[in-house]
Each structure stands twice: as structure tokens, then as C-alpha cells.
């Protein structure tokens, strides 16, 4: 077994507020070719305890390092890649469509706010994902309703 001049230990938190530790002393991990730690363990409640556990397993002093190493090992154990590729910026919502909100809800432009609300309730029940409906249609109905309500409320005269 080869021993490096520099032996390291990295820590990562767990869901149960414990620490998992990973120690390398025969070769350092790299992002390009992540290598499994020479020893690893968990359950430590403090940084000092985790380092002691790692040093006991290594049989030598270890240098505590920051970085993604222990978290990468946790991902490998979960069957995921050690370092997930980051995609470019992604929109969290779809762009609103140019469809007339009156058509989406099935109401006339002259209908009252009460009629718009009633039509919204019917459409929402028909398209709600929890009831087997299409999520995209549900979102379109909700957006159409929001647009029409905003327009109606903007038209109301301010009460003094």
C-alpha cells in the first residue's frame, strides 16, 4: 500500500445532522477522475469526532480539507455521478401563450367577474393534475384567470 505525503479527510453533512467523513491517503481525489476514498464512515456529531474517526481508520494524522469530496462520495453511493453536470440557465415556468384568456376560460369579454370565477372553477376541476388532468392545461387556465381578474380589478374605480 502506497502512502502519500499528504493525507486528507473531507466531511459532508447528512440528513440527520451527522457528518460523513471520507479519507484518502494512497491517492488524492480529482474532479476529472473521482476515486473512492481509502476509508469512509459516518455518524459523527462534531467535526473533531469525525476527524478522530478518520484518523483512527487511516492510522495516521489527516488534513481536514474543504471541498466537494465527501458529498461526491455520498452521491456515488446513491448511484449518481459524483459531480452532476450543470445545465445552462433554465426558465422555471413556460412562456405565456398568446391565446386569448377569454377563449381559454370560455367566457365573453362582457361577462361579469362572478361568471369568470364560475368558469374558472369548472375548468380547474376538469384539468387539475390531482384529478388526472393535464398540468399544462391547468396552468393555462390559471394564467388566463389571473389575467382576466387583474384586468377587471384594474378597471374598477377606486373607492374613497
Strand partners, 22: 10, 40
For the stretch 124-145, pLDDT in tens is 999 988 888 888 999 999 999 9
pTM of the predicted protein model: 0.52
For the stretch 17-31, pLDDT in tens is 899 999 999 988 888
Asked if 51 and 21 touch (Cβ cutoff 8 Å), the reply is yes
For the stretch 75-132, pLDDT in tens is 898 888 888 877 666 655 555 557 899 999 999 999 999 999 999 999 999 998 888 8
Amino acid at each position: 500500500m502506497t502512502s502519500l505525503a499528504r493525507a486528507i479527510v473531507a466531511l459532508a453533512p447528512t440528513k440527520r445532522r451527522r457528518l460523513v467523513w471520507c479519507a484518502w491517503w494512497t491517492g488524492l481525489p480529482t474532479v476529472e477522475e473521482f476515486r473512492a476514498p481509502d476509508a469512509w464512515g459516518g455518524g459523527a456529531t462534531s467535526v473533531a469526532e469525525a476527524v478522530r474517526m478518520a484518523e483512527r481508520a487511516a492510522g495516521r494524522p489527516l488534513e481536514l480539507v474543504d471541498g466537494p469530496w465527501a458529498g461526491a462520495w455520498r452521491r456515488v453511493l446513491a448511484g449518481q455521478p459524483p459531480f452532476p453536470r450543470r445545465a445552462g440557465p433554465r426558465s422555471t415556468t413556460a412562456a405565456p401563450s398568446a391565446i386569448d384568456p377569454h377563449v381559454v376560460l370560455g367566457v365573453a369579454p362582457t361577462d361579469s367577474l362572478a361568471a369568470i370565477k364560475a368558469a374558472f372553477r369548472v375548468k380547474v376541476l376538469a384539468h387539475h393534475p390531482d384529478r388526472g388532468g393535464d398540468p399544462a392545461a391547468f396552468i393555462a387556465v390559471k394564467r388566463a384567470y389571473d389575467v382576466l381578474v387583474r384586468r377587471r380589478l384594474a378597471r374598477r374605480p377606486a373607492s374613497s
